[in-house]
Structure 1
Amino acid sequence: MTDHSPRNRSALRDRASLNELFEVLSKADRRRILTALANANPRHEAEFAPRDFTSDEQGKDALTRLHHAHLPKLDEAGFIEWNRSSKTITRGPRFDKIAPVIELMTTHGDELPVSWP
């Protein structure tokens, strides 16, 4: 028997929301973008362009992932607003949903794996 009470539905929404947050935070590039926005808003996408790669091909791949995966995913989720024409990234309408997790991770960065953010 499934519990369809308002309390259980609310718990399921919260769980789905937490899953979404962890999915978004699962990639280092997205964590860097969100952490940067938590510190200063707006940001220019050039700040997140790949640097120090051993080959041009690696740099192109990272730039492709930024433009075709990470920025669109954060934009669609509403955590950022990405203006492609001005190349500006600002906090999105749902940024406040992820900001406490970013703050918690930043505050406890010395306890997290080396790959943070």
Structure 2
Amino acid sequence: MNDNAFTALANERRRTLLLNLLASNPQDAGVESSTGESVLTDAAQRAQTEMYHVHLPKLEDYGYIAWDKDANEVVKGPQFHEIRPLLEFLASNSPE
């Protein structure tokens, strides 16, 4: 275990993404309008921009995710096994 794992889990958005990946390989999904275009609030747009420019690159650098920017797809990365024990602990001790 290294400090990257704790840095990755320190942010709620990164933590949520990694916990979702623990259960499956989710795709980035926006709310689509009837025209097929994504409809996002200002806050959602800011969160999406932050995810794209900060959180996804950091998780990809650590190897916890593999990110296909063109397909807008995120899946478990080659080093996901390093963070899995912490994610399993968090998931099993979640207040939900």
Please report the TM-score for the alignment, with normalisation by the length of structure 2: 0.82
| Equivalent in the alignment of 2:35 | none
* Offset at residue 60 of structure 1 (A): 1.9
| Equivalent in the alignment of 1:44 | 27
Runs (4+) off by over 3 Å: none
Whether 1:29 aligns to 2:13 is yes
Whether 1:105 aligns to 2:90 is yes
Q: Which amino acid aligns with 1:94?
A: Q
Q: How many residues align?
A: 88
**Root-mean-square deviation (CA), in Å?**
2.0
Structure with more of its chain in helix, by fraction? 1
Q: Which amino acid aligns with 1:105?
A: L
Per-residue CA shift, 1:86-116, capped at 9, x if unaligned?
1111100000000110000110112xxx9xx
The structure number with the bigger radius of gyration is: 1
What are the ranges of 5 or more consecutive residues in structure 2 without an aligned counterpart? 32-39
Please report the TM-score for the alignment, with normalisation by the length of structure 1: 0.68
What are the ranges of 5 or more consecutive residues in structure 1 without an aligned counterpart? 1-13
Higher relative contact order (CA 8 A, sep 6+): 2
State how far apart, in whole Å, the 2-side matches of 1:73 and 1:45 are: 17
| Equivalent in the alignment of 1:63 | 48
% identical equivalent positions = 28
